[in-house]
Amino acid sequence: MLFHDLVIILVMTFPMFLFSIYPGIKASEYLQEKYLLSETKKRTIMVSVTFLFALTLSTLLFYI
């Protein structure tokens, strides 16, 4: 993978946030209810899931 490809994937990640916010919210709410997490851990999980899902979507879109 070239540096140029990586930059394009990261740029494509930002529009994918529109599609990945809802799964991030739902995953963090589910984990908070199941494991009784604090609010700070819930927010960390929400941001992490949202970013990873957006990165996955943009990578798949780039290579398909």
* pLDDT tens digit sequence for 16-42: 999 999 999 999 999 999 999 999 999
Counts for the chain of helices (H) and strands (E), in that order: 2, 0
Q: What is the pTM of this model?
A: 0.87
13 located within any domain: no
Residue 30 lies in a domain: no
Q: Longest Cα pair distance anywhere in the chain, in angstroms?
A: 42
Question: What pLDDT, in 10s, does the model give residues 36-54?
Answer: 999 999 999 999 999 999 9
pLDDT at 49: 97
The total domain count for the chain is 1
Give residue 41's domain range: 36-64
